[in-house]
Structure 1
Amino acid sequence: MKHFKQKVCIIGGLLISSIAVSQTVLENELSLQAGDSIEKFSWQKDFRENPQDSDVMQNKTYGEISGVYQLIFAGSSASALNTESAPVYGGAGCIYSPVGSTSFAAYDVPLQIPSGHSILGMRYAWSDTSASSSRVVLYSIDNTGTFATEQQIDSTGDTGYDSTFATLPGGLLIDNFTHKYGLRFITNEDGNTQEMCAVRLEIDSTP
């Protein structure tokens, strides 16, 4: 019994320590400046959300009764389709096409979401002072190589930092046996007047 109590105390102490460390890490994330390590960034603090959007209203914790959870993908996690347009990190997880590169640039993030889950909607966040718009595309590719756009969102040009949420009517049911899925960030401008920052997916694990 004595040894059992000692083990409980040790485990409890480890849990408290883990919580304290996690809180410290979160505080560090919220203080990220341009040029700092990407790992320190927290997306949620900069989203200006409409409280009526379903991804704001729904439960944000995976595994609870509703089965709805969210995944966030920073623009800085994307890879360039063209090596001449390797992304430049603009701070806060945002990326942009390098000055002098082709005016059209695309950056992909492959998605690994469990089969049977359904994507209900997505939010695109950007920092844009250009008259034109950037775009993010949620796509699928089937076993024959056919590319399909499942949903897309354009930035509203010249608005600074902002975000928009779009639903996927009926949801996109994930089937990894027959399809691959990804996000594609697209810009028609070079330089930091058009930065692509993040996508947040709203997903149902029990559709």
Structure 2
Amino acid sequence: MKISRFIAILSLMSAVCFSYTQSVFAQNKTYNRMINGAAKVVRAKFTGSEEVRYNYDEDNQNIVCGYIMDVEVIKSYKGGTDNFKVFVSNEDILLGEDLEYFIIARRNQKFGETRAIDFLNCLEGRSTRTDVSKLPYLATNITQQIFPLVSYKREDNIVDPDTRVVKKGEWMMLVNRIANNALPYTIARRRLNNGNDDIIEEMRLNDFIRDFELE
């Protein structure tokens, strides 16, 4: 009886370990696929922007579908150090030109001189078909690709209210997206209470770079 119970417990533990391993593999695969397919992985600043708007005839509304952002590269992990333009949707959190961002952008295969019609995400979950031939790079996906960066210095004495530990180092801000559950558990993450309901967590930049072997 004891042997049977031991075997049953051992089998259960093995199943749990296998399930956890498969879960971690799936999580890593989501972001690995995005990074491997990216044309640009950079630390950068936005130096300018151009609205991409659309007229909704049924509502007589002219709304912003997103922005073409001018990107000034500070450090390149992939894709070179040349500055470039990227389309971002309204789902991305842009906190000002003075802030630095970690950006993962893919090449727009329809960019060029020939007019190309495709869907763009607009405000409040709406989308529209429009000419995308003027957008050289895209950073729109259900997985977050634009991360505002925040830096904490020990001498600033900013205390994490949950752990009561002084914050330090560089962190990537996470917006409220289900897809961010695909991030590996090995990246340090913590809740962020900064008054912005759209930004719910922050994760350690160095952990992200390490886990995805960007350096």
**TM-score between the two structures when normalised by the length of structure 2:** 0.28
**TM-score between the two structures when normalised by the length of structure 1:** 0.29
Q: Which structure has more RCO (C-alpha within 8 Å, separation ≥ 6)?
A: 1
Bigger CA radius of gyration: 2
